C-alpha cells in the first residue's frame, strides 16, 4: 500500500506533464472508441440478424426484381414456415442528403417476421386499411419533425414520379441497436400504379424473407429454394440473413479495413505519448533509482514503481477517453444519421479501449525500466539532482 | 538566423529518443490525414476522368445513376439525331445508346460478391470515348454474347481474363478483349452488345444515350431544348459532370470521416509535442537564464522554442507525407454508394495535399509548442540561473 | 585474532571511458575491524570513493575479493547482492539523495519496505531512528522544507533504520556549512561510540577525518 502511495505521489511531481499525458491518452482512446464504433455501425445489420430468417434475392444481382409468382413455390418447400416479400423504394425526400431507408412490405405478415419492430395494434390496423399508409420509425419521425397524419411526398428514382404517403403511426425498436429509422409502406400502393403506368414492371418484388422452423437446416433449405428456380428466367440466391447483411458490409470492405488499420495506428499513438512521458520522467529520476538500488531495491521493485506510475497514468487516460466516447458518439450519430441508422457503442469496444490503455501503460514502462535496471549504480549516483 | 537554426536542430538531436517519438507521432497523424485526403481525391479523379468535356449524356429525369435510368427507344432515337451531335466520316452520329445493368461477380480470390456494371453498348462506343483504348484482344462481335472488360475488371473479378467467360442471365459471356480507360470508372466495367444485353435481361429500353458534341459550347442550347420538350422526360448533362457527381456522396463521406479522425488524432499529437517541448524547456532552464543574462530579449527565447517546434513539425510532416506517398501504389476497390456498383480507384497525391499536410503539421507543432515557448520566455533570470 | 568485519583482499579496478583505460585501484588490501570508525582520505581520483562502493556492494572489482561479515560479495548474484545490501549496509551520500516526494518519515521508512515488518513495527523503527538524529518533530516535513544539515540527518536516520552491519559514508559533510558539518560528525561519532557501529567514511575534510579512529590515505589506487 505504501508503494502505491509512492507511485501516486510520483505522478503529482510534474502535474502539468501528467495532466497532458492523461489528456493525450484520453484523446487517443476516444478516437479508438469512435473508429471501432464506426466499424460496429457497419456490422450492425449483421448483429441484428435472426438465425431463423433467410433472404432470397435475384441471383443476377440484388437490384433485380423477382416475380410474385415465386411465393407459392417457396411456401411449399419443407421447413419453410412463413414467406413475405419486401421491396426497396429508394426515393428522395426533398434532397438526396435527407437519406433514409424506404421499404414496401407485402402486408402485416412482414411485420410478424420482424418482431423487433414494435407497432401498436391501432397503427397496424390503420396501415392495413389505407393503401397509401406508411409507418415511420421514431428516429426518422423526430429527424424531420413529422406527425401522425402528415402527408409525405417522395420523389421516386427507381419508380419514377412523385409519391404521396400518409403517416398512420410509428414503430420503435426492441433494443438500442435495432434500426428505428425505416419508412415502411404497402407494396400494393406501388403495384397499383405500376399496373397503370408501367405494366411491364408490375408483379415484381425486391426479395423474399423466409422464416424457417430449424436454423440448423438453413443451408439445406436455402439450397432447396434456389434449386426450385434454377435454370429459370428468375434464378435466385438464398442465404441466411446474417450472410446477406454481411455482403453489404463486404461492399465497403475497403473502408472497414482502413478503419481497422487506423485503430491500430491509434493504439500506436497512445503508446508513443505514454512512452515519451515515461522515458522523460525516468531519465530525470535515474539518480533516485540508483539510490533505491543502493538501499537494496531490486529490478522487480523498480518495475513496480515505474510500471505502476505508467499504468496509473494510462488508466486515468483510459477513463477520460472512455467517458468522452459517449457524448461524442452521440453527436456523430446525429450528424451521420443518413449514413448510419444505428451507431452502437458496444461493450466490446469499451473493453478493447480499456485493455489498450492498460497494455500501453505496461509497454511504455519497458524501456525506462530496462534502462533503470541495467544502469550501474555508480553511474546513476554520479548524476546530480 | 542560420546559427539559431543550427542551434535548435542540435538541441533536438541531443534528446534523440523523445525527439524521435514526437516526430513519429506527428508523422503518423500526417500520414493518416494525407492518406484519407488522397483516397477522396483518388475517388474523385477516377470519376472525373470518366467522361470527357465534349460528350453529353441523356438520362431519365432525376436519375443520378444509369442503373435506375430508363430511356425509351424512341427517345434515344430523338437524342442521337439532334443537330448538335457530331457525325463520323460516314455521316452517322457519334453516339451510343446504352443499357447499364448490375451483375454479381465474385471478387478474384475470395467468395465476396461485387456488383459489377455490365454496359450494353454500340459499335461507336470506342470512337465516342477517346480516353478508352482497346489494348488486348479485339472488340466484341455485335449480335454475339462476347464482351470486353476494363483493366481493373480483369484484375479484380474472378474469371474475367481473355478467353474465360462469366455466366449470368442463363448465358455464358466470353471475354474477347481488354480495354484501358486510364483509371476512369470504365476500367471496372464489362462492355457487351446492347441488343444482346437487352434480350438476355428481357428489357426493351435503354439506360442512357451518350453523344459527342460538334461544338462543346452548344451544350446549353441542346440541354434547354431537350429538357423543355414535353414529349421527353430526360436530363441532359455533360458526361464528365454526370460521373463526377457520382463521387460526391462517397468522397464527401470519406472527407468528413477523415477530417474528424485527423482532427482528433492531431490533438493527441499536439499534446505529445507539448509534453516534449515542456520537458525541453525544463531541462534547459539554466541555459535560458544564461541567454537572458547575456542580453537576449524574451522574444528571441520564444522564437527559439517555436523554431524547435517547427523543426519537429517539418520532420514529422516529411515522414508522414513520404509514408502517404507510398500509398499511391495501393489500389482499392469498393462499392460506390451512389451507383451501388463496384469501382476501382487508388490513392492520388496532389500538390495541394502535400502542402496541406505540411501546413497541418506546422499548425500542430506551433499549437503544441506555443505554451511551452511562452513559459521559457517568461522565466525569471535569477531563478533560472540558480536551478540545477 | 577475530577476523575483520570488512576484509578487502587485493582488489583492482579499472574504468574504461571512451576507449581510454583508467586504473583506479591497484591490488589494494584493507581490513576494518568491528566497531571501528575509519576515514579514507586522498586527492581527487585516488580511488577512495571506488573503494567505498566496493565495500558497499554497489560495484564489483575486476580482481580480488571483498568480504563483509564473512560473506564474499563476489559470490552473490545481482538480486542476492541487492538483498544483502538492504540488510547489511547503511549508505550516506554527499548530496543526501532523499526522495523529494516523500516526507522525512517516508524516506526513512523506505528501506524497511523491503522487510517483512508490519506497519506499526516499521513506524516504531522509523521514530526511533529520527529521534536519534534529533528530527522527530520534523517527521512529516518534505525535504524541500528542511535545511541541508537536516536533510543529511534524515539520510543518516535512513542509513541506520535497518540496523546495518556497516555504515558507509561518501563525503557526508561535503555540501554542508561548518556548523551543520560539526553536528553530522557528532552524530556519526555517537553512532560509533555509543552504538558500536562500524563506519567507513570517505572525506577530504581534515576536520572530519579527525573524528575517526583511524585515517587511511589513498594515492593513485594504493594505500599510502
Q: Is A326 on the interface with B (CB under 8 A)?
A: no
Q: Is residue B343 pLDDT above 70, yes or no? A: yes
- Is it the case that chain B and chain C have 3 or more CB pairs lying under 8 Å apart? no
Could you list the beta-strand ranges (E) of chain A.
53-58, 66-67, 80-88, 102-105, 117-118, 133-137, 151-156, 161-173, 183-186, 204-205, 207-212, 236-240
Q: Is C93 on the interface with A (CB under 8 A)?
A: yes
Residues of A with CB under 8 A from a CB of C: 2-3, 5-6, 9-10, 12-13, 287-288, 291-299, 301, 376-378, 381, 384
Superfamily for domain range C33-60+76-223: P-loop containing nucleotide triphosphate hydrolases (3.40.50.300)
Give the count of Cβ contacts less than 8 A between chain A and C. 65
Given C53, C97, C106, which is nearest A291 (Cβ)? C97
Report A:284-313 residues touching B (Cβ under 8 A): none
Which of C110, C117, C169, C174 is the best residue to mutate to test the A interface, defined by the most A CB atoms within 10 Å of its own CB?
Answer: C110
Owning domain of residue A148: 60-234
- Range with lowest mean pLDDT among A41-55, B256-270, B317-331, C178-192: B256-270
Same domain, A146 and A196: yes
Indicate yes or no: CB of B21 within 8 angstroms of CB of A200: no
Indicate yes or no: CB of B102 within 8 angstroms of CB of A272: no
Residues of C within 8 A of A384 (CB-CB) are 95
Which of B28, B103, B104 is the best residue to mutate to test the A interface, defined by the most A CB atoms within 10 Å of its own CB?
Answer: B104
Contacts of C193 (CB under 8 A, 6+ apart): none
Q: Is A62 on the interface with B (CB under 8 A)?
A: yes
Cell of A99: 437519406
Per-residue pLDDT reduced to its tens digit, B260-270: 888 887 888 78
The full set of domain ranges for chain B reads: 2-48+246-386, 55-212
Mean pLDDT over B239-250 rounds to: 84
Q: Is residue B26 pLDDT above 50, yes or no? A: yes
Within a domain: residue A248?
no
Looking at residue A70, what is its pLDDT?
A: 94
Same domain, A259 and A369: yes
Per-residue pLDDT reduced to its tens digit, C35-94: 999 999 988 777 888 899 899 888 889 999 999 988 999 999 887 888 888 889 898 888
Looking at residue B292, what is its pLDDT?
A: 75
In whole angstroms, give the CA distance from residue B239 to residue B55: 5
Given A34, A63, A92, which is nearest B340 (Cβ)? A63
More confident call, B215 vs B288? B215
Report A:216-235 residues touching B (Cβ under 8 A): 231, 233, 235
Within a domain: residue A240?
no
In whole angstroms, give the CA distance from residue A165 to residue A131: 9
Closest Cα of chain C to A10: distance in Å? 7
Looking at residue A63, what is its pLDDT?
A: 84
Within a domain: residue A203?
yes
In whole angstroms, give the CA distance from residue C156 to residue C145: 17
Domain count for chain A, please give it.
2
In whole angstroms, give the CA distance from residue A348 to residue A361: 20
Q: Is residue C2 pLDDT above 60, yes or no? A: no
More confident call, C97 vs A70? A70
In whole angstroms, give the CA distance from residue A8 to residue A27: 22
Same domain, A109 and A225: yes
Indicate yes or no: CB of C97 within 8 angstroms of CB of A381: yes
Looking at residue A1, what is its pLDDT?
A: 59
Residue after which a domain boundary falls, among A200, A234, A268: A234
More confident call, B368 vs A153? A153
**CB contact at 8 A, A272 and B131:** no
Mean pLDDT over B72-98 rounds to: 89
Distance between first and last Cα of chain B: 29
Q: What percent of chain C has pLDDT over 90?
A: 44
Which of B12, B21, B255 is the best residue to mutate to test the A interface, defined by the most A CB atoms within 10 Å of its own CB?
Answer: B21
Mean pLDDT over B70-84 rounds to: 88
Indicate yes or no: CB of B22 within 8 angstroms of CB of A268: no
Within a domain: residue A239?
no
Which of A2, A6, A8, A295 is the best residue to mutate to test the C interface, defined by the most C CB atoms within 10 Å of its own CB?
Answer: A295
Mean pLDDT over C111-123 rounds to: 88
Per-residue pLDDT reduced to its tens digit, A308-359: 899 999 999 999 999 999 999 888 888 788 788 888 888 899 999 999 999 9
In whole angstroms, give the CA distance from residue B350 to residue B37: 9
Within a domain: residue A245?
no
Residues of A within 8 A of B46 (CB-CB) are none
Could you list the beta-strand ranges (E) of chain B.
55-60, 95-106, 113-121, 133-137, 146-150, 165-168, 171-180, 190-193, 208-212, 234-238, 331-335, 342-346
In whole angstroms, give the CA distance from residue B252 to residue B262: 15
Q: Is A132 on the interface with B (CB under 8 A)?
A: no
Looking at residue B386, what is its pLDDT?
A: 63
In whole angstroms, give the CA distance from residue A337 to residue A345: 15
Q: Is residue C188 pLDDT above 60, yes or no? A: yes
More confident call, A60 vs A184? A184
Q: Is residue B4 pLDDT above 50, yes or no? A: yes
Cell of A297: 531495491
In whole angstroms, give the CA distance from residue B215 to residue B274: 59
* Confidence label for B22 from pLDDT (cuts 50, 70 and 90): confident
Looking at residue C3, what is its pLDDT?
A: 67
DSSP SS3 for A132: coil
The Cβ-side half-sphere exposure at B27, using a 13 Å CA radius, reads: 20
Contacts of B122 (CB under 8 A, 6+ apart): B95, B96, B97, B98, B142, B193, B194
**CB contact at 8 A, A26 and A321:** yes
Looking at residue A385, what is its pLDDT?
A: 41
Residues of B within 8 A of A61 (CB-CB) are 101-104, 115
Pairing assessment for the beta strands A133-137 and A161-173 based on DSSP bridges? parallel
Same domain, A189 and A137: yes
Question: Closest by alpha carbon to A262, among A2, A1, A34?
Answer: A34
Amino acid at each position: 500500500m505504501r508503494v502505491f502511495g509512492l507511485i501516486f505521489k510520483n505522478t503529482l511531481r510534474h502535474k502539468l506533464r501528467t495532466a497532458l499525458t492523461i489528456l493525450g491518452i484520453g484523446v487517443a482512446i476516444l478516437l479508438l472508441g469512435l473508429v471501432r464504433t464506426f466499424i460496429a455501425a457497419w456490422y450492425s445489420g449483421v448483429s441484428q440478424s435472426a438465425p431463423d430468417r433467410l433472404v432470397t434475392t435475384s441471383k443476377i444481382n440484388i437490384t433485380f426484381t423477382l416475380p410474385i409468382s415465386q411465393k407459392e413455390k417457396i411456401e411449399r418447400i419443407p421447413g419453410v414456415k412463413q414467406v413475405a416479400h419486401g421491396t426497396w423504394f429508394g426515393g428522395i425526400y426533398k434532397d438526396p442528403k435527407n437519406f433514409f431507408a424506404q421499404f414496401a412490405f407485402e402486408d402485416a405478415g412482414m411485420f410478424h417476421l420482424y418482431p423487433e419492430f414494435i407497432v401498436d395494434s391501432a397503427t397496424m390496423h390503420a396501415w392495413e386499411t389505407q393503401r397509401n399508409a406508411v409507418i415511420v420509425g421514431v428516429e426518422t419521425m423526430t429527424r424531420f419533425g413529422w406527425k401522425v397524419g402528415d402527408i409525405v411526398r417522395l420523389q421516386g428514382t427507381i419508380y419514377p414520379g412523385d409519391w404521396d404517403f400518409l403517416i398512420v403511426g410509428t414503430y420503435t425498436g426492441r433494443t438500442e441497436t435495432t434500426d428505428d429509422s425505416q419508412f415502411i409502406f404497402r407494396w400494393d400502393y406501388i403495384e397499383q400504379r405500376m399496373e397503370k403506368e408501367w405494366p411491364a414492371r408490375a408483379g415484381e418484388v425486391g426479395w423474399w424473407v423466409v422464416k424457417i422452423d430449424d436454423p440448423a437446416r438453413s443451408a439445406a433449405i436455402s439450397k432447396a429454394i434456389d434449386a426450385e428456380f434454377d435454370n429459370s428466367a428468375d434464378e435466385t440466391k438464398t442465404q441466411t440473413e446474417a450472410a446477406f447483411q454481411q455482403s453489404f458490409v463486404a461492399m465497403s470492405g475497403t473502408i472497414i479495413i482502413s478503419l481497422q488499420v487506423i485503430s491500430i495506428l491509434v493504439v500506436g499513438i497512445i503508446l508513443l505519448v505514454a512512452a515519451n512521458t515515461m522515458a522523460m520522467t525516468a531519465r530525470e529520476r535515474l539518480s533516485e533509482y540508483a539510490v533505491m538500488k543502493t538501499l537494496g531495491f531490486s529490478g522487480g521493485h523498480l518495475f513496480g514503481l515505474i510500471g505502476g506510475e505508467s499504468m496509473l497514468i494510462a488508466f486515468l487516460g483510459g477513463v477520460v477517453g472512455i467517458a468522452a466516447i459517449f457524448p461524442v458518439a452521440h453527436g456523430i450519430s446525429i450528424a451521420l444519421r443518413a449514413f448510419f441508422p444505428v451507431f452502437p457503442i458496444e461493450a466490446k469496444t469499451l473493453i478493447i479501449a480499456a485493455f489498450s490503455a492498460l497494455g500501453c501503460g505496461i509497454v511504455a514502462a519497458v524501456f525506462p525500466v530496462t534502462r533503470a535496471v541495467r544502469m550501474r549504480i555508480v553511474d546513476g549516483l554520479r548524476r546530480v539532482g | 538566423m542560420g546559427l539559431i537554426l543550427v542551434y535548435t536542430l542540435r538541441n533536438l538531436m541531443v534528446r534523440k529518443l523523445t525527439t524521435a517519438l514526437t516526430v513519429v507521432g506527428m508523422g503518423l497523424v500526417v500520414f493518416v490525414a494525407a492518406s484519407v485526403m488522397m483516397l477522396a481525391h483518388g475517388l474523385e479523379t477516377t470519376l472525373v476522368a470518366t467522361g470527357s468535356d465534349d460528350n453529353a449524356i441523356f438520362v431519365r429525369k432525376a436519375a443520378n445513376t444509369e442503373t435506375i435510368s430508363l430511356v425509351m427507344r424512341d427517345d434515344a432515337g430523338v437524342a442521337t439525331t439532334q443537330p448538335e451531335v457530331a457525325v463520323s466520316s460516314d455521316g452517322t452520329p457519334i453516339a451510343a445508346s446504352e443499357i447499364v445493368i448490375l451483375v454479381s461477380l465474385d471478387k478474384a480470390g475470395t467468395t465476396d460478391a461485387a456488383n459489377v456494371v455490365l454496359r450494353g453498348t454500340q459499335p461507336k462506343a470506342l470512337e465516342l470515348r477517346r480516353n478508352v483504348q482497346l489494348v488486348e484482344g479485339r472488340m466484341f462481335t455485335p449480335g454475339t454474347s462476347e464482351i470486353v472488360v476494363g483493366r481493373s475488371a480483369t484484375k479484380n473479378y474472378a474469371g474475367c481474363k481473355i478467353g474465360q467467360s462469366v455466366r449470368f442471365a442463363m448465358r455464358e459471356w466470353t471475354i474477347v478483349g481488354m480495354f484501358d480507360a486510364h483509371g476512369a470508372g470504365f476500367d471496372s466495367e464489362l462492355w457487351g452488345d446492347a441488343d444482346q444485353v437487352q434480350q438476355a435481361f428481357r428489357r426493351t429500353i435503354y439506360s442512357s444515350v451518350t453523344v459527342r458534341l460538334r461544338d462543346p459550347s452548344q451544350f446549353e442550347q441542346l440541354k434547354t431544348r431537350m429538357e423543355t420538350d414535353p414529349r421527353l422526360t430526360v436530363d441532359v448533362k455533360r458526361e464528365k459532370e454526370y460521373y463526377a457527381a457520382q463521387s460526391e456522396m462517397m468522397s464527401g463521406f470519406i472527407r468528413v470521416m477523415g477530417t474528424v479522425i485527423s482532427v482528433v488524432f492531431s490533438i493527441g499529437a499536439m499534446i505529445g509535442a507539448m509534453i516534449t517541448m515542456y520537458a525541453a524547456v525544463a531541462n534547459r532552464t539554466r541555459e535560458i537564464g544564461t541567454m537572458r543574462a547575456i542580453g537576449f530579449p524574451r522574444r528571441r527565447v520564444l522564437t527559439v522554442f517555436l523554431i524547435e517546434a517547427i523543426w519537429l513539425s517539418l520532420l514529422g510532416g516529411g515522414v508522414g507525407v513520404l509514408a502517404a506517398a507510398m500509398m499511391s501504389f495501393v489500389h482499392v476497390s469498393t462499392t460506390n454508394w451512389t451507383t451501388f456498383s463496384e469501382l476501382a480507384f487508388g490513392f492520388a497525391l496532389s500538390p495541394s495535399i502535400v502542402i496541406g499536410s505540411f501546413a497541418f503539421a506546422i499548425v500542430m507543432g506551433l499549437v503544441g509548442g506555443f505554451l511551452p515557448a511562452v513559459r521559457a520566455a517568461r522565466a525569471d533570470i535569477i531563478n533560472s540561473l540558480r536551478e540545477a | 585474532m577475530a577476523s575483520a568485519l570488512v576484509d578487502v583482499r587485493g582488489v583492482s579496478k579499472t574504468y574504461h571511458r571512451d576507449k581510454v583505460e583508467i586504473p583506479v585501484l591497484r591490488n589494494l588490501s584493507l581490513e576494518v575491524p568491528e566497531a571501528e570508525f575509519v576515514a579514507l582520505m586522498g586527492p581527487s581520483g585516488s580511488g577512495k570513493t571506488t573503494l567505498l562502493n566496493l565495500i558497499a556492494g554497489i560495484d564489483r572489482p575486476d580482481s580480488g575479493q571483498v568480504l563483509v561479515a564473512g560473506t564474499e560479495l563476489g559470490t552473490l548474484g545481482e538480486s542476492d547482492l541487492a538483498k544483502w545490501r538492504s540488510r547489511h549496509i547503511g549508505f550516506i551520500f554527499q548530496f543526501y539523495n532523499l526522495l523529494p516526494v516523500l516526507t522525512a518519515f517516508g524516506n526513512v521508512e523506505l528501506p524497511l519496505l523491503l522487510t517483512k515488518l508490519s506497519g506499526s513495527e516499521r513506524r516504531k523503527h522509523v521514530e526511533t531512528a529520527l529521534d536519534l538524529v534529533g528530527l522527530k518533530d520534523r517527521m512529516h516535513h518534505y525535504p524541500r522544507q528542511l535545511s541541508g544539515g537536516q536533510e543529511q540527518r534524515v539520510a543518516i536516520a535512513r542509513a541506520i533504520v535497518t540496523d546495518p552491519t556497516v555504515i558507509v559514508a561518501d563525503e557526508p559533510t561535503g555540501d554542508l556549512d561548518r556548523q551543520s558539518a560539526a553536528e553530522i560528525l557528532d552524530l556519526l561519532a555517537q553512532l560509533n561510540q555509543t552504538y558500536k557501529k562500524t563506519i567507513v567514511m570517505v572525506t577530504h575534510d581534515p576536520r572530519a577525518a579527525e573524528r575517526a579512529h583511524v585515517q587511511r590515505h589513498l594515492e593513485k589506487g594504493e594505500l599510502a
